[in-house]
């Protein structure tokens, strides 16, 4: 499957709102190939030369529904900092990820969120949990894992897992007051 800006479903396609179903493990060859292609898209999308050559929009994650496959598969590549300010690099190819706990404290990106499936700009804060715990099978490590995510990684994972429910980031924006700062929320 060719994954590029032309083949990624946009939010004007009602299929993007379909719910995704769990995937049987061990992965079929078809599901494994798809997940690896999605991961490669994310990796290549941040390489300016490849992005221009292959018509890729920069991304930190992609879910299978975005390429027309309603399955609980997502690929995430995030560069962030740990709590001490040291650079950290996260790479996941997740199958059937589930949020098993989330913090009461909220967080949002000061710049707002974007999405490969959303071409129009939607301004406003997307308020999410500041910390989450996710259980999933990870194709990179080849085993079931538990991810304790905070700040930026937590936001990215929540964004991708929302796709499984047919939810887009702008569904979370307070349309009456898009830039209201929720009490106690962390701005990232």
CB of 105 within 8 A of CB of 131?
yes
**Residue 160 known to be catalytic:** yes
Rounded Cα–Cα distance for residues 158 and 64 (Å): 15
Catalytic: which of 19, 24, 52, 160?
160
Q: Which residues are catalytic?
A: 160
């Amino acid at each position: 499957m060719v994954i590029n800006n032309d083949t990624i479903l946009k939010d004007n396609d009602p299929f993007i709102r379909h719910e995704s179903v769990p995937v049987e493990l061990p992965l079929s060859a078809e599901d494994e190939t798809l997940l690896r292609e999605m991961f490669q898209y994310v990796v290549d999308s941040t390489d300016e030369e490849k992005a221009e050559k292959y018509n890729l929009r920069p991304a930190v994650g992609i879910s299978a529904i975005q390429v027309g496959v309603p399955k609980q598969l997502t690929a995430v590549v995030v560069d962030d900092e740990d709590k001490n300010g040291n650079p950290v690099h996260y790479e996941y190819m997740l199958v059937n990820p589930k949020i098993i706990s989330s913090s009461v404290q909220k967080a949002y990106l000061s710049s707002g969120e974007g999405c490969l499936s959303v071409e129009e700009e939607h301004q406003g804060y997307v308020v999410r949990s500041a910390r989450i715990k996710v259980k999933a099978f990870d194709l990179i490590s080849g085993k079931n894992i538990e991810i304790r995510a905070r700040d930026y990684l937590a936001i990215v994972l929540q964004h991708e897992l929302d796709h499984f429910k047919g939810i887009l980031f702008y569904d979370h924006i307070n349309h009456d007051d898009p830039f209201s700062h929720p009490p106690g929320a962390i701005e990232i």
